[in-house]
Amino acid sequence: MQEATVTALRAAIYMCPADLKILTFLGTLGPLTAARLAEALDVNTTYVAQRVLILLERGLIERTDVAIRPSASVVRPGYRITDNFQTNLAALAEGFDTSVIDAMTAR
């Protein structure tokens, strides 16, 4: 197994449910702002900022610009899943029972 895959696996194993939810939202909805993540998680932005810092340090997400209104080219700072983590996650998901992830990320 490649070292990057092992690192991503270790990082994914040791995280709280909110981290899994953040990764799920970013993985399914694409790049999001901290405010949008807070709204989706029904928590305050301070809590999201704390969780995002941990995910950034682990290399699971990265900073990016997020289009607020594409027609007006308005962007805000936001976050997205790193390419490396997304690739490793896709490889892990092949043949994996997704009901486990759904149960882990359910409210």
Q: What does the pLDDT look like over 1-12, one tens digit per residue?
A: 566 655 666 665
* pLDDT confidence of residue 56: 92
2-53 pLDDT per residue, tens: 666 556 666 656 678 888 889 989 988 889 999 999 999 999 999 999 999 9
* pLDDT confidence of residue 73: 78
Give the pTM.
0.69
* pLDDT confidence of residue 36: 92
* pLDDT confidence of residue 98: 60
Q: What distances in angstroms separate CA 4 from CA 45, 48, 70, 86, one per listed residue?
A: 30, 26, 34, 12
* pLDDT confidence of residue 22: 92
Instruction: Find the mean pLDDT for residues 101-105.
Output: 56
Cα torsion through 70, 45, 42, 65, rounded to 10: 20
53-68 pLDDT per residue, tens: 999 988 889 999 988 8
Instruction: Find the mean pLDDT for residues 94-106.
Output: 57
Q: What distances in angstroms separate CA 33 from CA 18, 25, 26, one per listed residue?
A: 15, 11, 10
Q: What distances in angstroms separate CA 27 from CA 2, 71, 103, 107, one per listed residue?
A: 22, 23, 16, 17
